[in-house]
Amino acid sequence: MNKNKEFTHLDENNKAKMVDVSAKTRTARSAIARITVAFDRATFKKISEEGVTKGDIFAVAKIAAIMAAKKTAELIPLCHPIFLSCCDVKFVMKKDENEILIYSLAKTSEVTGVEMEAIIAAQTAAAAVYDMCKAVSKKIKINCCELVYKSGGKSGIFKNDDIFGTALKDIEDWLE
């Protein structure tokens, strides 16, 4: 028996199941995720000042993120396929830390949330940045993918208190 009802993707026998969302109402929903890509100082300087020979890192990473967000249900077995009304990506250069913060936004008007789409978009953007930069350095770290914000649905608004305050200046134009 599923003793912990909080795990909605488990049935009464603790086996994986897809949540039935057929009775839910469509509502506007959004989610913002963030991931960090860290570099050594020389690589970060090269990226931020000169670029890399493969091309526009950020354009490639943004397109990769959007493509991945649209395929989330194909990648995450119990994730519902949804119509994305918006997916966007921002890159924030953190010179003092030799890091790039990648933020992804996903929006929909559906019966289920878009957190997974935002997370997949952020992770894929980070992987694309790694791919574009690996010829310069293999010492690239992809760190800490996390949900920053979500709105809509039964649970309403969520703000990740651990990072929301510092992230606000980067994402305020995305908030409703």
Catalytic site includes residue 131: yes
Cα–Cα dist 142/123, whole Å: 9
144: CB partners within 8 A, 6+ apart: 34, 35, 36
Catalytic residue among 131, 161, 170, 173: 131
Secondary structure in 3-state letters for 87-155: EEEEEEEEHHHCEEEEEEEEEEEECCCCHHHHHHHHHHHHHHHHHHHCCCCCCCEEEEEEEEEEECCCC
| Tokens found for residue 17 | 């199941």
Active-site annotation, residues:
131
